[in-house]
Amino acid sequence: MTESTDDILTRPLGVTEAAAPEPPLGRFGRLVAPLRRPKIAAGAIAGALLAACGLVLALGDPQGGEPRVEVAITIREPVARPAPAPVAATPEMQGTVVVNAGGAQQRSAEEIETASGVTVVRPPGSGPSEAVVIRVPPVNAPRLAAAPDPRISEQNRHGIMPKLGDGRVRALDVYARAEEPGTGPRIAILVTGLGVGQAATAGATVRLPQAVSLAFLPYGAEAERSAARARDTGHEVFLQLPMEPFDYPDSDPGPQTLLTALKGLENTDRLAWSLARFPGYVGVANFMGAKMMADPAFEPVLREIGARGLGFLDDGTGPKPAFANKARTPVARAEIVLDAVPRADAIDAALSQAEAKARATGFALVSAGGAALSVDRIARWAKDLDTRGIRLVPASVALRGSVEKRVSTAN
């Protein structure tokens, strides 16, 4: 028996396969019945494909049948804007220029300052929409020597550091800002703690007179760039050396601090690390360090500073040390700390005290931190110094020259 089970079950009983009636077809069934034959179905499909290809070739639109829309584009004339008011050409000038201090203009002023030495000063308490003052230095303003100078530089494992050059050429002389000629009482100001806070550093650099010396900490990725920018602006710079205070480690100056408990070679290596942070400084100033300066461990450090053609300046914030100076390194100590009491009236009083000291002795060396309040009070005080007969001079004046002529209260 070769018939399938389905055929047996669906064929009426007693009727042979040949005689079995076909099921009735409807109208649609009669239409599609020929397509059930394989040859006819294959031919129909092939014909449909050929017809579609022919339509594509004839119409040239491969995306025919997809939704589309046509939009009319109307070209309008641009709205006329009023022409800007003509700006009168101004001749090249020196002195003070007032410009708008909006965000973009302020950034442009900073770019000009970096590129050409222009000093930008924002009036105290002014907002971004108010004016700034651009002080254009005169053509004959002193320019500092390029750094590093190969005559007084050498490479060590930490980087480039100063050395005493042939003929005893010193960084203290090469990188110093020249004292402008004149007579009368002189005041030198050292502003410390710069190079870490960029806002405070930029404020001190652009607001303070060029004769004010700036001291930079050896920390932070921007220390070298900030010191270079200060020198480009006309400020001579010092390197601040982190040293152990009496309450160490409660007060910690930071990494690579010189400590009294370390052996001489260890402190010398830490000193070398600091000296290689950036070039162009005239000397070293302390950062904290009251305990270190009062300890015999400071003597080899001071000797190394002098042997590299540098001077040492004590900012006066700690007790007066009584260290030995057998190597006769140029040393000076600030007589007045302007912001020992960080209030505006106290800083103003300290500046008046510095004036009285300068009138009495001919010279006063003072220091201040780089906080915005201190910078603001110094900038205000310095505006009319000429009318009071006082001259600002760089702090290196207190270190240069022979020991007998050097103004110093630290020896």
For each of the chain's 411 residues, which pLDDT tens digit applies? 555 555 555 655 665 555 555 555 566 556 556 656 666 667 777 777 777 666 656 555 555 555 666 666 766 666 555 555 554 443 444 444 434 333 444 444 555 555 555 555 555 554 444 444 455 555 556 689 999 999 999 999 999 999 999 999 999 999 999 998 899 999 999 999 999 989 999 999 999 999 999 999 999 888 999 999 999 999 999 999 999 999 999 999 999 999 999 988 999 999 999 999 999 999 999 999 999 999 999 999 999 999 999 999 999 999 999 888 999 999 999 999 999 999 999 999 999 999 999 999 999 999 999 999 999 999 999 999 999 999 999 999 999 953 333 444 444
Q: Return the CATH number at 238.
A: 3.20.20.370
For residue 4, tell me if it sits in a domain. Answer: no
**Res 50: pLDDT:** 76
Instruction: Please tell me the total count of domains within the chain.
Output: 1
In a domain, 11, yes or no: no
Distances (CA, A) of 28 to 25, 31, 259: 8, 5, 106
In a domain, 206, yes or no: yes
Residue 44 covered by a domain: no
Q: Is residue 93 part of a domain?
A: no
Residue-range definition of the domain harbouring residue 206? 155-401
Tell me whether residue 165 is in a domain.
yes
Q: How does pLDDT run across 23-72, given as a tens digit for each residue?
A: 555 665 565 566 566 666 677 777 777 776 666 565 555 555 556 666 66
- Flag whether 347 is in a domain: yes
User: Can you give the pTM of this predicted structure?
Assistant: 0.68
The answer to whether residue 370 sits within a structural domain is yes
